[in-house]
Amino acid sequence: MSAYILRRLLYAVPILIGVNLLTFVLFFVLNSPDEMARMQLGEKRVTAAAISNWKQEHGYDRPLLFNDKATGLAKVTDTIFFQRSVKLFAFDFGSSDDGRNIGYDISQRMWPSLAIAVPVLLVGLAINISLALFIVFFRATYLDLGAVVLLVAMMSISGLFYIIGGQFLMSKMFHLVPISGYDTGIEAWKFLILPVIVGVVGGVGSGVRWYRTLFLEEVSKDYVRTARAKGLSERRVLFRHVLGNALIPILTGVVVVLPLLFMGSLITESFFGIPGLGSYTIDAISNQDFAIVRAMVFLGAVLYILGLLLTDISYTLVDPRVRLQ
Amino acid sequence: MMPVVLWTDALVFLLLALAVGFALYASRHEHLRAPWRRVARSRVGMGALVVLSFYVLIGLLDTLHFRLPLADPAPGAANPSAERRFAPEVLSVFDYWARPLRQRQEKTYSAPFATHLFVKEAITQPDGSVVRDFPRLQYGGRHLKDPNQRGWDIFGTALRGLTEGLAVWGLITLQVLWSMAQRRGLALSAVYEEVRDGRTELPWRTALGGLALMLVLGFVAGELALKYHILGTDKVGEDVFFQALKSIRTGLVIGTLTTLVMLPAAVLLGIMAGYFRGWVDDVIQYLYTTLNAIPSVLLIAAAILMLQVYMANNADQFESLVERADLRLLFLCLILGVTSWTGLCRLLRGEALKLREADYVQAGAALGVGHFAILGRHILPNVLHIVLITLVLDFSGLVLAEAVLSYINIGVDPTMNSWGNMINSARLELARDPVVWWSLAAAFLFMFTLVLAANLFADVVRDAFDPRLRGAR
């Protein structure tokens, strides 16, 4: 098993190099530091001196890939590519265009993101699975049909409307919770409850439908028939046997998103003013702060690969038939 | 009149040609025709199809662009032989057709069916005194002498729309019934009874019922829209109903062109990876894992930012705002395609892995058929159903994605009508007191209808094409 994990981790290296090269090309070759400087300085006609000044301040005055002026190893290390891209591998994200330490910002901002993402995941999972089992219990009746129609309708609503509707109902009409904002410590719950509700409700449509198909597929298998023939009640069949056996695909779907929870949701966080990584990224996009966007791309890729690895490991834990080698 | 073909227009026409070509191809192959027959027999599928076709019709009308000629120079002008001049503004057939909606701009917000502006203004009375009140709208309900008659006027106009809609529907229905009766050699009344009782092979009752609903809605809305702003006006006084209709093209283009853009890469690479295996497979797998590892929103954001910088630096390359917005739309489709081809590619790779072991493929290879002939003749036709299912399933997701991306300003151009842009601007209006809700409601209504119809249709298509799922739901 450890050999397998090690090999998978090694396999991740070329992927991360690929991601890194791609972002480097996107952010530095297609969009040269000169243009970045011009955009940050904001003026259409900025002087050449101002541009070179800005580049020097932010460390973009080096050559892109190869430095002839330096000596020895510095020929390779004293370049934008090394300073800005290779260092990402050591999780040294450098500083953003307005001079803040990105690594520190990320470590601060991942907690609010987690505070929303984890409850949304857990509560959503519980609600989706129980609703799906409920619908499967009444399969092939009008209740089932009506539920599916309702689910498709819920799926067809854009996530933006769930947020806007939730804010309007809960905050503006009934004044139950603040519209947006965040607080540190235990007081944060007031600000968190609405985003969590919205996140859960917004996910019910597609979630329940997906679990319903999963359970229906399981229900038609032979062992279920055997369990019924044995005289077990339908409830017992569903909750014991079907749910237990459907856990594998459910777990697969869940485990793969676990690492990505750190990244938070762009839309939810920016709508509710939560200072998490999602709103961090959105702000960076709208400020055209490429250093932050680049760091987040890299972080996202690392977490994605981690998720894939965790999925494989979780298989062995859930299903003894799977053996990794 | 000078036709203008924007980039996305050209691609939409190409898509249309491909669809017609595929329809012809499918009609000659039983294994493709049978699932479509199943789709056509489903009541849900037929209902969704009717709704979708209305959307497609508006989208297509909005895709035929042209520029109007300027007024002829005076007869005795210096050089009458000079070529005709055209207005710089690019219009679509839909713009031209819905001219009254487009041109009747109010000053600022007005509520649906309002006769007065939404905000108070200083009005000079005939006697010279100035009062602060809600002024009458310039266009909405202008024909009313007394705004209090509005209710009856709306009722009457709606009734007229209803009658017109029913009349058109009646003509179409009669035509359909008559041709059915002709073909099957039955009396008209017999066919009518069959349709009425829902005994026909295709669910004609549902189709005609859906058509009736859409036509009546269309005509009522059309009649009312000529006199009122039926969904109100936005901040700069533009008719919201018109904006929502214009957004249809954007949504459809994003939903369809994106898949068209990604299709060649996904199909080619997917079946090649599965068929050749070895290093080809490794390279292609590496490619899509790498692309998948990048959070798609960030990739899209990065690409759109690049484009913005490029456009800002090379402003002289783009003749008009419309062209600029169009290029950005195309670019958005491209980049969305780049982030979404990986899923289909993986599916096709798995299927090709399976198919290459099939007896007929093995036999072909043993007989010395070339690799690419096998790919084109055996593998590709046998994965078409997966391609089709993916395309239909992706559509609604892409329409929704457009709204989210436009909301964070990395979607379509802000000057382009789209539901995302409507939501984006409506967000601040919700904070007003009293609330300006109609832009949001309009965007919601139009988007929901399209996505719901697309989702229902996709379900039917998937059930029909995926033999594994048949009967499961």
Same domain, A275 and A203: yes
Owner of token pair 């490429």: A290
**ipTM of this complex prediction, to 2 decimal places:** 0.84
Q: Is the pLDDT of residue B472 over 50?
A: no
Task: Read off the pLDDT of residues B402-414 as tens digits, 9 standing for 90 and up.
Answer: 888 888 888 888 8
Whether A172 maps to a domain, the answer reads: yes
Cβ-based neighbour number of residue A21 at 10 Å: 13
Residue B23 C-alpha, separation from nearest chain A C-alpha, in angstroms: 28
Specify the higher pLDDT residue, B397 or B80.
B397
| Of B287, B292, B290, B295, nearest in space to A16 by CA | B290
Q: Is B110 exposed, middle or buried (0-12, 13-18, 19+ CB in 10 A)?
A: buried
Q: Which of residues 192-221 of A touch B (CB under 8 A)?
A: 213, 216-217, 220
Whether A95 maps to a domain, the answer reads: no
User: Final residue of a domain: which of A63, A90, A117?
Assistant: A90
What would the two tokens of residue B198 be?
Answer: 């829902």
To the nearest 5 percent, what fractions of chain B are helix, strand and coil?
70, 5, 25
Same domain, A157 and A246: yes
At B473, is the pLDDT very low, low, confident or very high (cuts 50, 70, 90)?
Answer: very low
User: What's the whole-number average pLDDT of chain B?
Assistant: 85
Whether A8 maps to a domain, the answer reads: yes
Specify the higher pLDDT residue, B189 or B433.
B189
At A268, is the pLDDT very low, low, confident or very high (cuts 50, 70, 90)?
Answer: confident
Same domain, A262 and A307: yes
Q: Is the pLDDT of residue A321 over 90?
A: no
The runs of H, that is alpha helices, within chain A are: 2-24, 33-41, 48-58, 74-77, 80, 102-137, 142-155, 159-166, 189-219, 222-229, 234-236, 243-257, 266-272, 277-287, 290-318
pLDDT (mean) for A128-144: 90
Contact A182, A112 (CB under 8 A): yes
Q: What is the pLDDT of residue A231?
A: 85
Which residue does chain A place closest to B401, by CA atoms? A158
- The percent of residues in chain A predicted with pLDDT above 90, rounded, is 13
Q: Which of the residue ranges A82-91, A221-230, B164-173 would you say has the lowest mean pLDDT?
A: A82-91
User: Final residue of a domain: which of A56, A90, A124?
Assistant: A90
Q: What is the pLDDT of residue A19?
A: 87
Specify the higher pLDDT residue, B254 or B311.
B254
Q: Is the pLDDT of residue B22 over 80?
A: yes
Distance CA A267, CA A262 (A): 14
Whether A139 maps to a domain, the answer reads: yes
Q: How far is CA B202 from the centre of its chain?
A: 26
**SS3 for A282?**
helix
Contact A262, A113 (CB under 8 A): yes
pLDDT (mean) for B417-437: 83
Distance CA B375, CA A144 (A): 42
Q: How far apart are the first and last CA of chain A?
A: 6
Residue A184 C-alpha, separation from nearest chain B C-alpha, in angstroms: 26
| C-alpha R_g of chain A | 25
Q: Is the pLDDT of residue A53 over 80?
A: no
- Using a cut of 0.90, tell me whether the model's pTM lies above it: no
Contact B37, B53 (CB under 8 A): no
Residues of chain B found within 8 Å of residue A164, distances taken between Cβ atoms: 423, 427, 430, 440
Q: What is the pLDDT of residue B122?
A: 82
Check if A159 contacts B (Cβ < 8 Å): yes
Distance CA B224, CA B217 (A): 11
Check if A42 contacts B (Cβ < 8 Å): no
Q: What is the pLDDT of residue B100?
A: 82
Q: What is the pLDDT of residue B147?
A: 78
- As a dihedral over the C-alpha atoms of residue B253, residue B258, residue B263, residue B264, rounded to 10 degrees, the angle is 90
Q: Please give the residue range of the domain that contains residue A183.
A: 109-318
Q: Which H or E run contains B243?
A: helix B240-276
Q: Which H or E run contains B396?
A: helix B380-407
Same domain, A311 and A188: yes
Whether A325 maps to a domain, the answer reads: no
How far, in Å, are A266, B58, B99, B324, B326 from residue B89 at the CA level? Answer: 37, 20, 14, 13, 14
At B36, is the pLDDT very low, low, confident or very high (cuts 50, 70, 90)?
Answer: confident
pLDDT (mean) for B170-190: 88
Same domain, A238 and A308: yes
Interface test with B, best of A22, A45, A160, A279 (most B CBs within 10 A): A160
Residues of chain A found within 8 Å of residue B299, distances taken between Cβ atoms: 297
Q: What is the pLDDT of residue B214?
A: 92
Same domain, A61 and A144: no
Cβ-based neighbour number of residue B390 at 10 Å: 22
Same domain, A70 and A116: no
Whether A242 maps to a domain, the answer reads: yes
At B248, is the pLDDT very low, low, confident or very high (cuts 50, 70, 90)?
Answer: very high
Whether A26 maps to a domain, the answer reads: yes
Residues of chain A found within 8 Å of residue B414, distances taken between Cβ atoms: none
Distance CA B431, CA A168 (A): 9
Q: What is the pLDDT of residue A66?
A: 67
Q: Are B290 and A15 inside 8 Å of each other by CB?
A: yes
Same domain, A59 and A191: no
Q: What is the pLDDT of residue B75?
A: 56
Q: What is the pLDDT of residue A132?
A: 92
Same domain, A26 and A144: no
Distance CA A137, CA A144 (A): 9
At A87, is the pLDDT very low, low, confident or very high (cuts 50, 70, 90)?
Answer: confident
Distance CA A170, CA A194 (A): 8
User: Final residue of a domain: which of A28, A56, A90?
Assistant: A90
Q: What is the pLDDT of residue A45?
A: 62
Which residue does chain B place closest to A163, by CA atoms? B427
Same domain, A242 and A134: yes
| Of B383, B307, B377, B402, nearest in space to B345 by CA | B383
pLDDT (mean) for B420-445: 84
Q: What is the pLDDT of residue A81?
A: 73
Cβ-count burial A174-184 (b if 16+ within 10 Å, e if not): eeebbbbebee
Residues β-bridged to residue B90:
B67
Task: Read off the pLDDT of residues B377-393 as tens digits, 9 standing for 90 and up.
Answer: 888 888 888 888 888 88
Task: Read off the pLDDT of residues A100-125 as tens digits, 9 standing for 90 and up.
Answer: 888 888 888 888 899 889 999 999 99
Check if A15 contacts B (Cβ < 8 Å): yes
pLDDT (mean) for B295-324: 80
Neighbouring C-alpha atoms within 13 Å toward the C-beta of A230:
12
Sorted by sequence, the CB contacts under 8 Å of residue A163 that are 6+ apart come out as: A198, A202, A267, A268, A271, A272
Same domain, A139 and A264: yes
Sorted by sequence, the CB contacts under 8 Å of residue B163 that are 6+ apart come out as: none
| C-alpha R_g of chain B | 27
Distance CA B422, CA B442 (A): 9
Q: Is the pLDDT of residue B235 over 80?
A: yes
Q: Which H or E run contains B203?
A: none
Q: What is the pLDDT of residue B197?
A: 84
Cis peptide preceding B3, ω within 30 of 0: no
Q: Is the pLDDT of residue A222 over 60?
A: yes
The CATH number of the domain holding residue A304 is: 1.10.3720.10
Contact B394, B340 (CB under 8 A): yes
What would the two tokens of residue B396 be?
Answer: 């609604």
Same domain, A85 and A142: no
At B471, is the pLDDT very low, low, confident or very high (cuts 50, 70, 90)?
Answer: very low
Distance CA A243, CA A236 (A): 10
Q: What is the pLDDT of residue A178?
A: 77
Q: What is the pLDDT of residue B345?
A: 92
Whether A204 maps to a domain, the answer reads: yes
At B32, is the pLDDT very low, low, confident or very high (cuts 50, 70, 90)?
Answer: confident
Distance CA A69, CA A63 (A): 10
Number of domains in chain A: 2
Q: Are A15 and B410 inside 8 Å of each other by CB?
A: no
Task: Tell me how many degrees the CA angle A209-A212-A215 measures, rounded to the nearest 5.
Answer: 155
Q: Is the pLDDT of residue A71 over 70?
A: no
Q: Is the pLDDT of residue B51 over 90?
A: yes
